[in-house]
Structure 1
Amino acid sequence: MEATTLRLRTLTAGDTVAIVSPASWPEGSVPTWIARQVEAWGLRAVIAPHALDHRGYLAGSDVDRAADLNDAIRDPTVRAVIASTGGCGSFRIVPDVDVRALRADPKMLVGYSDVTALHQVWNAAGVPSLHGAIAGTHGDHVRRLLMEDADTVVDADAAALSAELTTTGRVEGPLSGGNLEMLARSVGVVDFDLAGAVLLLEINRAAGLGMVDRALTQLRYSGALDGVVGVALGSIDQFAGYQDRGWTVVDTLRDHFDALGVPVLGGLPLGHVEDLVTVPLGTRAVLDVDRGRLTVESPSGV
């Protein structure tokens, strides 16, 4: 996998950011809160028409959610797109994304968790995206990524549960990945190439260890992980204290990581953690396991 060839221009004051709900519906105040944060940066925020629709656990119908996303992609005044929340449903609209329009007028997507399905579409299109959110103490870093051509430096927390899986070594390659389950589900649906990439993994406890094992097995046996040069492992703290017949999530992950035989850096504040750090996907990264640091190049600058 090569780093994305498309570099996005930095946003300037007055540029428009669209807030969409491609998956589940957010709490009613969330889109407005995101809009206020974005406007405090000097940008203009537009909340998509169906951002607060309810259809079961989805933010409205597949047609309406896809329309909101595509309208943002096709609108030349919109320079970035922020997902209001994750949950479930992004995968259902993957085939409907207007990839041609995205390539013609590339713009950043911000989100994580279920939005991983859409990150794979952006990745396949050669467009960088941002894995994370504007909430938390690192929220201002998203502003810097969008508006200041900033690189990202993430230091590992040796006390975090995933730090137990840290090995040794130093590797370079484009950062790609996201939520483990969504990556596994994408096999055979989205054409993504991880050869030469640093694999970002974040895992939430949606089910037991069997789900983690099945997802990693699918990714390995399908060949999706062939050529991965390293693993940047985010939070697995939701599994703290959980065991299944004597095994913990650390045991399950170590079994698969040992089979990959690549450097692993755990303890990174990425994914389902309160103060998550937002990182670019698709740009060049350095995984320095010996220093406990992940450095990712800016996705913008033109």
Structure 2
Amino acid sequence: MRATTREPRTLVPGDTVAIVSPASWPEDSVPGWIAQQVESWGLRAVIAPHALDHRGYLAGTDAARVADLNTVVRDPAIRAVIASTGGCGSFRIVPEVDVDALRADPKVLIGYSDITALHCVWDAAGVPTLHGAIAGAHADHVRRLLMEGAQTIVDADADALSAELTTAGRAEGALFGGNLEMLARSVGVVDLDLEARIFLLEVNRAAGLGMVDRALTQLRHSGALDGVVGVALGSIDQFAGYEDRGWTVLDTLGDHLDALGVPVLGGLPIGHIQDLDTVPLGTHAVLDVDHARLTVAAPSGT
């Protein structure tokens, strides 16, 4: 079982946070807005040189994006890293991330969606991350995660589509996961091992049900899900009202999750939704299905 072994320290006023674009380019105003938010917390923000580069749908060349990321990973003054957006492209730079520097000086990465590929790199290095964003109604919770070592409590929404897949029971273990497609694509590239862990899963409708089926099949047949103790199921709301020859996303997911034979808590407001909850990855969690609650330990220490 992999667990967090290199815990970043809690941030204090005056610490520096870097804003990078390891995948697609954000709207021009986004890095500046993130910087303003971070600075309102008493932190200092720096925007990486290539954060607004454009190369097709990518934020510049692979070399430029990984150079930005490695520069902040190697800089002892940088205490956390925020991805400006997801989109596409972070998977391309996975092999070039300076994992040795990350292990030597662990710092939290914040992002979701395509950034799941980099969460896998951080996890393989034993460093926790934050799955989510600093925008929306829960922005202050991100501040508390970074600066106060706060615990995260996420209550399930019984009206969300994924809540229909909720079972019963309770599970404990380190939480890890993220976007389904990115997790499946990481098989064979990153050491993805979820034994004795709670599997966090969110699915956006990038394609039809076949994509969901193929991705989950790959994760199961590769052995990546062997020994999973529970499933924390986030948003699948983009599939609401969608059918393929009589099946819905609930049928496709249910087929695979039932085969795991572990407690499943759906309805968690995590993933591609407005006002998503941000949760630590790589830290101890309790999945209390009977009380519809996920509790996750802080990503950093003193």
TM bucket, shorter chain: over 0.9
CA contact (8 A) 2:2 2:126 kept: no
Partner of 1:23: 23
Moved beyond 3 Å, runs of 4+: none
The answer to whether the aligner puts 1:171 opposite 2:171 as a matched pair is: yes
CA distance in 2, matches of 1:208, 1:63: 33
Measured after TM superposition, the shift of residue 2 of structure 1 is 3.6
Q: How does 1:1-302 map to 2 (within 5 A)?
A: 1-302=1-302
Measured after TM superposition, the shift of residue 3 of structure 1 is 2.4
- Residues matched between the structures, number: 302
Measured after TM superposition, the shift of residue 126 of structure 1 is 0.2
Question: Under a length normalisation based on structure 1, what TM-score does the superposition of the two structures give?
Answer: 0.99
Measured after TM superposition, the shift of residue 6 of structure 1 is 1.8
**AA paired with 1:40?**
S
**AA paired with 1:105?**
D
User: What is the root-mean-square deviation of aligned Cα atoms in Å?
Assistant: 0.5
Q: Secondary structure at the match of 1:294?
A: strand
Identity %: 80
Measured after TM superposition, the shift of residue 213 of structure 1 is 0.3
CA contact (8 A) 2:108 2:129 kept: yes
CA distance in 2, matches of 1:117, 1:232: 19
CA distance in 2, matches of 1:13, 1:272: 30
Measured after TM superposition, the shift of residue 239 of structure 1 is 0.3
**AA paired with 1:34?**
I
Q: Cα deviations across residues 120-167 of structure 1 (Å, max 9, x unaligned)?
A: 000000000000000110011110000001010000000000000000
CA distance in 2, matches of 1:3, 1:283: 7
Q: Cα deviations across residues 74-115 of structure 1 (Å, max 9, x unaligned)?
A: 011000000000000000000000000000000000000000
Q: Secondary structure at the match of 2:290?
A: coil
Measured after TM superposition, the shift of residue 192 of structure 1 is 2.0
CA distance in 2, matches of 1:6, 1:104: 8
CA distance in 2, matches of 1:7, 1:91: 24
CA contact (8 A) 2:128 2:282 kept: yes
Measured after TM superposition, the shift of residue 18 of structure 1 is 0.2
Measured after TM superposition, the shift of residue 300 of structure 1 is 1.0
